[in-house]
Amino acid sequence: MKFKKIISVFVLLLVVIACSTNPFTGKQTMALVPNSQLFPTAFQQYNQVLSESKVVTGTAQSEMIKRVGQRISVAAERWLNANGYQGYLKDYKWEYNLIDDKTVNAWCMPGGKIVFYTGILPIAQSETGVAAIMGHEVAHALANHGQQRMSADYIQQGVALAGNIAIQNDNDRAAFNQYYGIGSQVGVMLPFSRSHEAEADKIGLILMALAGYNPSEAAELWKRMEANSGGNAPPEILSTHPSNASRIQNIQSLVPMAVSEAKKFGVTSFKPITKF
């Protein structure tokens, strides 16, 4: 009995200590695992995915993914620095890869490790569409949404997790992928909650606008994604990013905010939207 009490106090303490502020929303968020311990696991997992996949290199498309990724990460850095969060990205090691796979998906692992599948490019339609997806995925990673899912789950299970999430076997890998919404062949993905989706949409719009891409394209992109959900192979990305009419309306209503945010950083015009 006494032991149980000590454990629950310990868990509570850990939660209090592990709360940090989300720079984009000002809200307190849970992070049971510090970035310094989470990121090496993510990097190892990312390399594993790459080693098991057909990574596209040296093509116009793979170069475009890298270009958009760089512009989005520079935008994130500028925005964070201007808002008093210097050093927030210090443990990030950005990487942007295109994988030859018909799966309609893209994701960003903790620490800025990004994958696009070639299957999502026809729905992205243009570099601006890619930027909308990139901004949204990077936003999930910056706001640590995957980690919050994991933290909430562990607390529910009463597991006092002392920062160790080393991946030792396939089960651990599958669990990690579930929390972070990664991969295409590891079973059921956990959907992001509506509030996490709304946060990622808002942050994503700011990032793409700051990077010089027209944020109004984001709503069009998610409409195309929805339109593709009827067939035999609904976009994988919708299983982790549930979308609906009110979400798309919300994105549309936030476009003027993103445009004026970009203006503060001297961005007054956007790259023309040209289909591939």
Strands 20-21 and 55-56: unpaired
- Shortest distance (Å) from residue 225 CB to Zn ion: 11
Q: Which is nearer to Zn ion, 37 or 193 (CB)?
A: 193
Token code pair at residue 39: 């990121």
220 close to 169: Cβ distance less than 8 angstroms: no
**Does residue 137 have an active-site annotation?**
yes
Asked if 247 touches Zn ion (CB under 5 A), the answer is no
24 close to 198: Cβ distance less than 8 angstroms: no
Binding segment for Zn ion among 125-133, 221-229, 237-245, 257-265 (CB under 5 A)?
Answer: 237-245
Asked if 248 touches Zn ion (CB under 5 A), the answer is no
- Shortest distance (Å) from residue 145 CB to Zn ion: 8
Binding segment for Zn ion among 2-10, 104-112, 165-173, 191-199 (CB under 5 A)?
Answer: 191-199
Asked if 218 touches Zn ion (CB under 5 A), the answer is no
Q: Which residues contact 152 (CB under 8 A, 6 or more apart)?
A: 30
Most distant CA atoms of the chain, gap in Å: 66
Q: Which residues contact 225 (CB under 8 A, 6 or more apart)?
A: 104, 123, 235, 237, 238, 243
With CB under 5 A as the contact rule, the residue among 106, 131, 150, 200 that binds Zn ion is 200
| Catalytic center residues | 137
Q: Which residues bind Zn ion (CB under 5 A)?
A: 192, 197, 200, 241
